[in-house]
Amino acid sequence: MKIYEKFNINVVFSEDLIQKRISEIALQISENFKNKEVLAIAVLNGSFIFCADLLRKINLKTTVDFVLLSSYCGMKSQYKVNVILGLKENIKDKNVLIIEDIVDTGVTLDFLIKEVSFKKPKNIKTCVLLNKKTSRKKNVSIDYSCFVVDNSFVVGYGLDYNGLFRGLPYIGKIEGSLSNE
Ligand code: 5GP
């Protein structure tokens, strides 16, 4: 028995569907950035699996850097973003692709776009796995989005609940209580 099977997780996006959609997005990115080099900036921790799959499907010269930001606590978004690990790459005049797991209020992505803009890249595009449109506080520009989700809390494929569930190959909703942890 797989360890997560004892939890009641309702699958929202299956492993196959996620991989198929990432292939489509990777193709669009490869065509739009044709003959250009791209610096991917992935937001840890949530986007590490998405970033790994996406970059392996993009047919371009890519480099990658990671930032670790925190704005969530349990199941609640906080409106203040903390930088725990910052950018290491020089991004001046580069084509930047920000990779984020999920945009909810938009506060995190808005913060990162501003931080990156200060460093004068050639341009900034954003790519998100999940777009939760209903609780937006900041009007952020999303160039590539894999799926739209409703306002419920989802886990899996990099997304966690208190650090757990990131390793699930699919995205789902936890139904009921987590008391049998
Ligand atoms: P925002 O700043 O847009 O409100 O939130 C972005 C961050 O909140 C994401 O990077 C992610 O870590 C977290 N987040 C938002 N919604 C969810 C969700 O449904 N599930 C999980 N696991 N994290 C979420």
Please give the full DSSP string across 123-167, using - where no structure is assigned: EEEEEEEEEE-TT--S----SEEEEEE-SS-EEBTTB-BTTBSTT
What angle, rounded to 10 degrees, do the helices at 48-57 and 15-32 form? 60
Cβ–ligand 1 contact at 106 (below 6 Å) = yes
Token readout for 101 is 């797991």
Per-residue pLDDT tens digits for 76-88: 566 778 887 788 8
Cβ–ligand 1 contact at 160 (below 6 Å) = yes
Q: Is the confidence at residue 64, as pLDDT, over 80? A: yes
pLDDT at 178: 59
pLDDT at 90: 87
Burial of 41 (0-12, 13-18, 19+ CB in 10 A): buried
pLDDT at 87: 81
Cβ–ligand 1 contact at 153 (below 6 Å) = yes
The alpha carbon of 35 and the centre of ligand 1 are apart by a number of angstroms equal to 33
Per-residue pLDDT tens digits for 130-154: 999 988 999 999 999 999 999 999 9
Domain ranges for the chain: 15-149
pLDDT at 143: 98
Q: CB neighbours (10 Å) of residue 139?
A: 7
Please give the model's pTM, rounded to 2 decimal places: 0.92
Probe residue for ligand 1, chosen from 76, 80, 102 as the CB with the greatest number of ligand atoms within 8 Å: 102
Q: CB neighbours (10 Å) of residue 134?
A: 10
Cβ–ligand 1 contact at 129 (below 6 Å) = no
Q: Is 160 a catalytic residue?
A: no
Per-residue pLDDT tens digits for 6-57: 778 899 999 999 999 999 999 999 999 999 999 999 999 999 999 999 999 9
Per-residue pLDDT tens digits for 78-117: 677 888 778 887 899 999 999 999 999 999 999 999 999 9
Cβ–ligand 1 contact at 108 (below 6 Å) = yes
More confident residue, 69 or 50: 50
Mean pLDDT of the chain: 91
- 52: helix, coil or strand? helix
Q: What's the CATH code, domain 15-149? A: 3.40.50.2020
What is the full DSSP assignment across 4-51? GGGS-EEEEE-HHHHHHHHHHHHHHHHHHTTT-EEEEEEEETTTHHHH
Q: Is the confidence at residue 74, as pLDDT, over 70? A: no
Per-residue pLDDT tens digits for 161-175: 989 999 999 999 988
Q: Do the Cβ atoms of 13 and 171 come closer than 8 Å?
A: yes
CA nearest ligand 1 atom 4, residue: 105
pLDDT at 8: 83
Strand partners, 11: 172
Of the candidates 104, 110, 150, 160, the residue annotated as catalytic is 104
Distance between CA atoms of residues 91 and 65, nearest Å: 10
CA nearest ligand 1 atom 8, residue: 72
